[in-house]
């Protein structure tokens, strides 16, 4: 039951794979639809209230739109690493269970064997045979108990690890595509002008939300 609860928790943390019905594919489609150099206002509205990992990374990219591309990429990478840690926070519990469960089964098996040998030769006849059988049954039951926990947990751990890996690649691909489109045709002079202090009679455009 504990492993099932952890699996549910990992699934609930998986925001990129399970966004709301209206934004399930909207963010990715909008990034792909966005033309190079086009204003990302529609995308900004789309991700504003979205709780998915992709939306949070896209918001960081849009917030740093006036910064040089290298600074924007660095900010996006920092946020992406944070999102990956957030998505993987439930996997560590599964990994610990996968490692501990067989060891618990091994402890039970050793305990059963100790029980067998401790009664071996102490009595004769059916009583001695019965004690040996009980010790062997204890060892086998402990082994089955450990494996019955480890095997399903290992399946869940492998599934969610692969899912997070695929999500990471998809998110990286979309964000790289977005940054390329946002900075299409923009020169270094534009960033120097944006960073220069405003002078009288010259208005500095506000950054895109």
Is there a contact between 62 and 208 (Cβ–Cβ < 8 Å)? Answer: yes
Q: What is the pLDDT of residue 123?
A: 59
Q: What are the domain boundaries of the chain?
A: 11-89+167-191, 91-159
What is the distance between the terminal CA atoms of the chain, rounded to a whole angstrom?
45
Spatial separation of the C-alpha atoms in residues 12 and 26, rounded to whole Å? 20
Spatial separation of the C-alpha atoms in residues 205 and 164, rounded to whole Å? 39
Q: What is the pLDDT of residue 89?
A: 85
Q: What is the pLDDT of residue 121?
A: 62
* Cα-based torsion angle of the residue sequence 126, 127, 128, 132 in order, rounded to the nearest 10 degrees: 100
Q: Is 125 left (phi over 0), alpha (psi -120 to 50) or beta?
A: left
Q: What is the pLDDT of residue 16?
A: 42
The proportion of the chain whose per-residue pLDDT surpasses 70, expressed as a percent, equals 72
Spatial separation of the C-alpha atoms in residues 55 and 64, rounded to whole Å? 14
Dump pLDDT digits (tens) for 123-148. Answer: 555 566 777 788 888 888 888 888 89
Q: What is the pLDDT of residue 17?
A: 42
Q: Residue with structure tokens 């040998």?
A: 117
- For residue 152, what pLDDT band results from cuts at 50, 70 and 90? very high
Spatial separation of the C-alpha atoms in residues 138 and 124, rounded to whole Å? 21
Mean pLDDT for all residues in the chain: 77
User: Which of 3-12, 105-114, 140-149 is least confident?
Assistant: 3-12
How many H helices and E strands in the chain?
A: 8, 0
Q: What is the pLDDT of residue 198?
A: 45
Spatial separation of the C-alpha atoms in residues 93 and 10, rounded to whole Å? 10
What is the arithmetic mean of pLDDT over 5-27?
A: 49
pLDDT over 50 (residue 107): yes
The whole model's pTM is what? 0.64
């Amino acid at each position: 039951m504990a492993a099932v609860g952890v699996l549910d928790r990992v699934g609930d943390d998986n925001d990129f794979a399970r966004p709301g019905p209206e934004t399930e594919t909207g963010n990715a489609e909008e990034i792909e639809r966005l033309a190079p150099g086009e204003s990302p206002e529609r995308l900004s509205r789309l991700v504003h209230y979205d709780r998915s990992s992709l939306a949070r990374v896209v918001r960081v990219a849009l917030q740093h739109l006036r910064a040089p591309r290298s600074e924007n990429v660095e900010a996006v990478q920092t946020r992406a690493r944070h999102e990956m840690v957030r998505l993987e926070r439930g996997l560590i519990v599964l990994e610990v269970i996968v490692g501990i469960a067989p060891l618990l089964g091994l402890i039970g098996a050793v305990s059963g064997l100790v029980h067998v040998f401790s009664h071996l030769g102490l009595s004769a006849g059916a009583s001695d045979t019965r004690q040996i059988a009980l010790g062997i049954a204890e060892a086998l039951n402990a082994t089955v108990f450990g494996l019955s926990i480890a095997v399903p947990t290992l399946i869940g751990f492998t599934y969610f690890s692969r899912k997070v890996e695929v999500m990471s690649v998809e998110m990286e691909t979309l964000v790289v595509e977005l940054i390329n489109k946002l900075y299409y045709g923009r020169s270094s002079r534009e960033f120097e002008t944006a960073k220069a202090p405003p002078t009288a009679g010259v208005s500095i455009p506000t950054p895109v939300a």
